Structure 1
Amino acid sequence: MVSVQQAKRIILLTGGGSAGHVTPNLVLANELVARGYSVHYAGRTEGIEKDLMAPTGLPYHGLSAGKLRRYLSLENLTDIVRIAKGFIDALRVVRRVQPVLVFSKGGFVSCPVVWAAKCNGIPAVVHESDFSPGLANRLSVPFAKRICHAFPETGEHFAASKRVHTGIPVRPSLLCGDAEEGRCICGFTDTLKPTLLVIGGSLGSRMINHMVRTALPELLSDFNVCHLVGPDHDITSVDRQPGYFALPYAGEELAHLLALADLVLSRAGATTLFELLAAHKPHLLIPLSRQASRGDQIQNARCFERLGYSEVLPEEGLTPETLCTALHATYAEREKFAKQMAEAPTADAAGRVVEVIESCLSEAH
């Protein structure tokens, strides 16, 4: 039975920039609402987080957001102004909403919200998904009461009194898809061929899109291919041929596409990795290179490779030929990968995060 006092308590969730910073918050929001909390969300005024949160009907608060780069750029000057405005926006939101706690999933929009919580004496919990902390979370961690982390080794970066290993909340609905529904979505008629699902991240990957399309003649001889190209990438004439189905982004359809997939080709964002692990789907990872990132996806992928969950193909060695060779090799070993993932320790990550939140709330009273 939920008490009247508990029902009035508001948790302010924040995080954005990519689906990986939002989808775990969607899971957590459902868990919190089920336990009687009110949930609000703070994200960019316009961004993927706003689009993903819209169907939930939860109160959404738009903020200005900037990005601090690790290299010299004139954009850093304008972004400092955006960050300052974002902090003012966050102060207004926190004072208006009066949450009892802020939960941050990361991304630069989350930093001002954590800072505003600290200024108002409100506890904050930060969640780090990647193997090593990103800049946004490193700017938030000093002001957080607790830090939840996905990989066990990540805890070494945080004070023992603050860190809690929780894993990443995974959408339960993602594991309840129907393979035949996925086949209907894709229009695949050859039921003898295995299905390859290509995921280039929530924003898509120009590199992976190009390599997959170049390698299609060989891939289609052995696989049906379902390709999530990303919302900013065009669907071209090459995308309309038997055994190949391309779409910009998969929402509710993703569960069915994942159920259909015999093999997955993916980037190595942490949220996607833990979703593939939960689904026990054999996969080949092509992490973002250090030229395009801080190397977090490489660390994520190598960790999963060491655990026997993943095969990894570095982007630096990516060609249509190496891609096809690696995919066929991974498919040949699919049962080994699926077995290793099935034997992985399981945890109710959303439940663990809520326990951390409620522990912080208990300490505050």
Structure 2
Amino acid sequence: MSKRILFTGGGSAGHVTVNVALIPKFVDMGWDIKYMGSAQGIEAELIQKLGNVEYLSISTGKLRRYIDKENLKDPFRVIKGVYQAYQLIRKMKPNVVFSKGGFVSVPVVLGAWLNRIPVIIHESDITPGLANKISIPFASKICVTFPETKKYIKSDKALHVGAIIREELMHGSSIKGLTLCNFTRNKPVIVCMGGSLGSQRINEILRRNLHHLIDKFQIVHICGKGQIDNSYSVYREYKQFEYVHHELVDILAMTDIVISRAGSNSIFEFLSLKKPMLLIPLSKEASRGDQVLNALSFKSSGYCEILLEENMDDDTFNEAIRNVFDKRYAIIERMESSESTNAVNKVVELITAIAK
């Protein structure tokens, strides 16, 4: 009888991509694979595209850093989700649960713990998010990307594994990327992305400065759901997407520099591809400050330039782009000397051992 693993994690693409990187390994080993998340979250969309993973939806709350009447309902949604997860896990009897985090994962972790199923958590950022903070006491092991994270967890459960990178990311075709966007090799390419949910502030400042940026660059703008502005379609050197799936590997293959938020999964993927970055982290006012710490860590290693959102205007935005582009060869050289941790195999071995 094959072993069974239950994955969870969602709310943003960053809480899914690590699972997407691991799932093919367990497919190859013949494991029975299931995924538990919310009914409408991005995790449902991304996982159902895989085709070989059963998706199970449960009730879940949402972490909001602002006042909203929905905050009063969320505890009841989480309680309902815990009950649903407990019942489903009791029925399926997985050997192990792997959680990438995000608020959807909390009911799953609790449901697994109540069923005495071992749980492994993955934390991408330097400081653990709230969902993982809640879940850590119920986990057997916590895999961390940054070595600094261990001091925030203060437990012998923490294990530094490094960044988990999707294998397919390494097989992009720059020719396919250029063809997809109808670009040429005559100008360098910038990819600008604000995460799976997009960033209105980055979208606005990029478009406001588009008229002179395209004198020097071709620009791919991954702007988020519902954020495409067709009035800019007149620019041949500017290509917009709401979100990209399998096309991303080819788009990144043709890219010279990246403008991005500073989510851990994304910036480690850019590092693995040796793509110089301009990072515009979410501010401490809009988040717990994890992206600022991620960006500062990469800046100290020489992999990026940082533009803080509170300092961003037309002049600082354009100057930061010029700085990254002018320094790109030196940045790439430092990236090439970075260590590869082979994190995927480390985590697969850990899961296999705990599942026994």
**Conserved in 2, the CA contact under 8 Å of 1:235 and 1:247?**
no
3-state secondary structure, aligned to 2:125: coil
**Structure 2 letter corresponding to 1:327:** I
Tell me the TM-score normalized by structure 2: 0.97
C-alpha distance after superposition, 1:237-267 (max 9, x if no partner): 1133121111111111101110110111011
**Structure 1 letter corresponding to 2:180:** I
C-alpha distance after superposition, 1:24-58 (max 9, x if no partner): 10111111222222110001011100100112121
Q: Does 1:210 align with 2:201?
A: no
Q: Does 1:31 align with 2:25?
A: yes
**Conserved in 2, the CA contact under 8 Å of 1:226 and 1:246?**
yes
Distance in 2, matches of 1:196 and 1:117, equals 43
**Structure 2 letter corresponding to 1:337:** I
Distance in 2, matches of 1:96 and 1:81, equals 23
**Structure 2 letter corresponding to 1:297:** Q
2:289 is matched with: 295
3-state secondary structure, aligned to 1:154: helix
Q: Does 1:348 align with 2:346?
A: no
1:257 is matched with: 251
**Which runs of no fewer than 5 residues in structure 1 stay unpaired?**
none
3-state secondary structure, aligned to 2:49: helix
Alignment of 1:226-237 (within 5 A): 226-237=220-231
Post-superposition shift, 1:69? 4.0
Distance in 2, matches of 1:315 and 1:97, equals 46
The one of 96, 102, 106 aligned to 1:107: 102
Alignment RMSD (CA, Å):
1.3
Distance in 2, matches of 1:330 and 1:158, equals 34
**Conserved in 1, the CA contact under 8 Å of 2:163 and 2:341?**
no
Q: Does 1:359 align with 2:321?
A: no
Identity of aligned residues (%): 42
Post-superposition shift, 1:74? 3.0
Q: Does 1:158 align with 2:150?
A: no
Post-superposition shift, 1:168? 2.7
1:11 is matched with: 5
**Which runs of no fewer than 5 residues in structure 2 stay unpaired?**
none
The one of 125, 128, 140 aligned to 2:120: 125
1:193 is matched with: 187
Q: Does 1:48 align with 2:30?
A: no
1:286 is matched with: 280
Q: Does 1:83 align with 2:78?
A: yes
**Structure 1 letter corresponding to 2:14:** G
Residues 267 and 70 of structure 1: CA distance in aligned 2, closer, same or farther (over 3 Å): closer
**Conserved in 2, the CA contact under 8 Å of 1:218 and 1:324?**
no
3-state secondary structure, aligned to 2:209: helix
2:140 is matched with: 145
Q: Does 1:169 align with 2:164?
A: yes
**Conserved in 2, the CA contact under 8 Å of 1:266 and 1:283?**
yes
**Conserved in 1, the CA contact under 8 Å of 2:163 and 2:268?**
yes
Q: Which moved more, 1:129-138 or 1:320-329?
A: 320-329
Residues 272 and 73 of structure 1: CA distance in aligned 2, closer, same or farther (over 3 Å): same
* Paired positions, count: 355
